[in-house]
Structure 1
């Protein structure tokens, strides 16, 4: 009798679980519309970062370093005179290396002919109309290596948010278009994700800043954001 009761209890439990699971199995999966959207905002740069260096050579390390210190100090003093704040100037690299004499001789081993010192400084220029003039003058002051120039904006966060809104609008418009073309009704938003956006990048718009100094084309920078959105198809 006890065995029969156990069998009966097990049977009831199995039937109960099947009855609970049955409604969920009967529910069809709702259709979905997957779309992507892109938002791009263009802006005129308001800041530039230049990387310049002072390279000096001498027969011994002390002389090379002394000459470099003097030239670099002159460059930094000029930048201060041009209104560059101390927080916008930073030494990004300082190196001291031997200069090898590789001319062939009876002794096959290369000899040290002198020493070379390179001091690289990263400078942020906020007054862009003066950029060409600053480049001219730092060369005259002693900067003899130019590593590059990059334009940017101090409004990156705000521009990225604008691009995000544009990307969502773009994706929403696509979803509505697809729903209309398919003859269905667009339902609720199920998910939204942002894929990796691009950092501020230059866009073509040539515009010289000063005719009597180094010609600089500021152009525009673009902030790009991509989003992926999933909508449910309404009943």
Structure 2
């Protein structure tokens, strides 16, 4: 009887060990067959390609940063003079069909002017605005109007061009970038004797290269020659394809 009992115990122990090994094997299989970070299995053959696209468009908006400066013996006089000149410029622009909402104050400052021993001898005030000119054909005359109205106090710090709505340019550049990536991937698949499969992941990066701002002269004139040039929309896309 004792021998039979021991045999039964050994049989139960062996069954338990086999069950444990079976569970461990299934768990190991599950951990190896799961998807990787890109959505495929570790055994999936892949190709990662970067495609680029570039589209150019003509800017339709000019933004000028304009400041009026004044120097006076006290703070109040300096700020008052620069403000009056800036207000005259704003009124002149509005009178020439520039929407007031396209004019915004960007900087107001008053700084003491000192001599060699550090004594304050005057104050320099500056009042700057951004002017958005939506009619490019009027930009030359409006910049001249600013210079003539502000006189020697005028400081046209910079001009920059932009495209108000570049959504279509972005779409075109995106399509170019993807087609470029696909063409490269197809070539790699062909060279490796494989076939291009499904897309596993896509990531993109876009950017715009504006024209170089032009310096503005400080003089009385009828117009300021400006050229909007071309603005470039660049697009880069990284695509991972499955190879079969």
- TM-score in same-fold range (> 0.5): yes
Which of 11, 19, 25 is residue 18 of structure 1 equivalent to? 25
Q: Which shows bigger deviation, 2-11 or 66-75?
A: 2-11
Show the counterpart of 1:49.
63
1:152, 1:200 within 8 Å by CA — same for their partners in 2? Answer: no
Corresponding residue for residue 182 of structure 1: 192
1:6: Cα distance to partner?
5.0
Q: Indicate the residue corresponding to 2:171 in structure 1.
A: 161
2:208·2:231 contact (CA, 8 Å) conserved in 1? no
Asked if residue 223 in structure 1 is aligned to residue 243 in structure 2, the reply is no
Call closer, same or farther: CA 1:51–1:14 in 2, change over 3 Å.
Answer: same
In structure 2, C-alpha distance between the alignment counterparts of 1:225 and 1:163, rounded to whole Å:
6
Equivalent position SS for 2:98: coil
Cα distance, 1:7 vs structure 2: 5.7
Q: CA deviation at 1:214?
A: 1.1
Cα displacement (A) at 1:23: 8.3
Aligned length: 219
2:83 paired residue among 56, 69, 75: 69
Residue 124, structure 1, aligned to residue 132, structure 2: yes
Picking from 191, 199, 202, the partner of 2:211 is: 202
* Cα 1:20–1:60 shift into 2, 3 Å: closer
Indicate if the aligned counterparts of 2:67 and 2:154 stay in contact, CA closer than 8 A. yes
Query: RMSD over aligned Cα, in angstroms?
Result: 2.3
Q: Which moved more, 1:129-138 or 1:4-13?
A: 4-13
SS in structure 1 opposite 2:211? strand
Compute the displacement of 1:157 (Å): 2.7
- TM-score normalised over the length of structure 2: 0.82
TM-score normalised by length of structure 1 = 0.85
SS state of the match for residue 202, structure 1? coil
Q: Go from structure 1 to structure 2 and tell me whether the alpha carbon gap of 1:67 and 1:187 turns closer, same or farther (over 3 Å shift).
A: same
> 1:33 is matched with which residue: 26, 35, 47?
47
1:8 Cα deviation after fit: 3.2
Structure 2 unaligned spans of 5+: 1-5, 34-40, 213-221
1:145 aligned to 2:145?
no
Task: Flag the structure with higher strand content.
Answer: 1
Deviation at 1:30, TM superposition (A): 1.9
Distance verdict in 2 for CA 1:14–1:149, change over 3 Å: same
